[in-house]
Amino acid sequence: MNANEIKAYSNGKKNGVKVFVAGSYEALSKKAASIVAGAISKQPEFVLGLATGTSPLGLYSELANLNHEGRVDFAGVTTYNLDEYYPIDPANDQSYRYFMNKNLFNNVNIDMDKTHVLYGQAPDWKEECAKYDAEIEALGGIDLQVLGIGNNGHIGFNEPGNDFIWETHRVELTESTIEANSRLFNSADEVPRAALSMGIGNIMCAKQVVLVANGPKKAEAIKAALEGQITPWCQASILQLHPDVTFILDEDAASALEEYKAI
């Protein structure tokens, strides 16, 4: 594929997950940004669900470019992030609040008071989670949720396990996630052992979902999510049941797919 190319993939079934494969990370990010910006432009009072991680960094910088070019306006946008480490000081440069300010919120014309990240120092995490869910519900739910995916198929911090947990909750991180996320800390010992995360219900109730993934480490998780059984052992697999999901991948992340083919 050439670097600017985007191919639509299909598994031949109707109403399936929409899959696009891009020839480069830049093309993937531009495609994702055009979907998100297009949705915001249709509905100025917009509730946008956001993800952290390295995968959406290109999307966020493209959104900032579009904002500077006057092609998308964040003035009426309210955001809710998927997750935050717990405990963590929001001023810590490893917190997801810090990440969002640096990589998106400081770079667009959003009202900071309309940006929401779970508070990593909440004295009572149950109260913090319940308040988050109530606020989202009061706004009529999330219009579009951006997702990345963990190497183990997690979305937000919904880790593989016996259940799909529906509402915002506290999570004990798995060793594999601590290990994967330690690349952003000085050492694995510094990675918080827990997090607060939106649940699968928050994500499934979003009207639209856009998942971005790149690199070979994501190939197995993407295959399990799109072509595997729907199981809490791959939390992203539940997205097969969502009516409006788009996966935007690079060729490496798409490389294990067998049922989905370029059309």
* Binding-site ranges for ligand GLP (CB under 6 A): 51-55, 82-83, 148-150, 156-157, 177, 181
Closest listed residue to residue 192, CA positions, set 210, 206, 208, 178: 178
Q: How far is the CB of 195 from ligand GLP (least distance, A)?
A: 7
Give the residue numbers marked as catalytic: 83, 152, 154, 159
Strands (E), 109-200: 115-116, 144-147, 169-172, 194-197
Which C-beta is closer to ligand GLP: that of 24 or that of 52?
A: 52
Segment holding 261, helix H or strand E: strand 261-262
Which C-beta is closer to ligand GLP: that of 29 or that of 177?
A: 177
Instruction: Decide: residue 159, CB within 10 A, 0-12 exposed, 13-18 middle, 19+ buried.
Output: buried
Distance in angstroms (rounded) separating the CA atoms of residues 101 and 107: 8
Query: CA 110, 113, 117: angle at the middle one, nearest 5?
Result: 95
Distances (CA, A) of 133 to 7, 141, 176, 203: 36, 9, 28, 11
Which C-beta is closer to ligand GLP: that of 11 or that of 176?
A: 176
Which C-beta is closer to ligand GLP: that of 14 or that of 183?
A: 183
Distance in angstroms (rounded) separating the CA atoms of residues 81 and 52: 8
Q: How far is the CB of 108 from ligand GLP (least distance, A)?
A: 20
